[in-house]
Amino acid sequence: MYADRLNRTGGFNPGSLGVALVINGAVIGALFFAAPGLVTSTPPEGPLITYVPYTPPPPPEPVPPADPLVRQQPRPAPRPDAPITVVQIPQTEGFAVTPDPLPYIPPIGVEGTGTGTVAIDPPKPAPVFVQPGIDPRYAADFQPSYPSEERRAEREGKVVVRVLVGVDGRVKQVERISATTDTFYRATLDRAMAKWRFKPATRDGVPVKAWRSMSLTFVLQN
């Protein structure tokens, strides 16, 4: 299939070289069309992985060193003509601390340094209070009637109440302190609201409302 590159008679034959090139090209073309898979490469299966080259981070910026001259600067010395502050410390030795004296109160009727006379009013007396008292005109009406059921039971009793006497001498309110039975207390309550009369209490001679305690005894008589 290949032609001789050198002529047997001697010298180079260009026609033989051309024929050899044509024959080789025809053989390569036939192989290409007959088996294309032998020439064309098949891409590999699977995803394509791309690798990024590692790039180191940039170095940190250098911190400028502190200026040593700033730390070594001495404080300014005080001026020679600046005034000097002197703190006075109080002396406590040899002294006694005494409390403030009481305020001066001039006596009654003593002349002062001015043209008039200094006088102080005497203290007012406490108000006089007088408790309410039983009006003697109604003294016979104070004893309640003996309850019939207590009499049948032959039971004696005692009642202590607290009454509010108005300025007119009448009973305005009754409070129970103690009682032998409720029957004795109801008899006392009814009698107090209906019949009891008092002399009203007074404060500096003026009638006022006031409370007073009353004690009554129920005794059987033969």
Contact 158, 150 (CB under 8 A): no
Residue range 139-152, pLDDT digits in tens: 999 999 999 999 99
pTM over 0.85: no
Q: Is residue 92 pLDDT above 80, yes or no?
A: no
The dihedral built from the CA positions of residue 131, 135, 138 and 140, taken in this order, carries a sign that is: positive
Containing structural domain, residue 23: 1-40
Judge whether 3 lies within some domain: yes
Please count the CA atoms within 13 angstroms of the CA of 203 that sit on its side-chain side: 6
DSSP 169: S
The answer as to whether 75 is a domain residue is no
Total structural domains within the chain:
2
Q: Is residue 196 part of a domain?
A: yes
- Per DSSP, 205 falls in state T
Neighbours of 188 (CB within 10 A): 25
The CATH number of the domain where 188 resides is what?
3.30.2420.10
**pLDDT digit string, tens, across residues 165-220:** 999 999 999 999 999 999 999 999 999 999 999 999 999 999 999 999 999 999 99
DSSP 14: H
- Please provide the average confidence, as pLDDT, over all residues in the chain: 75
List 118's β-bridge partners, or say none.
110
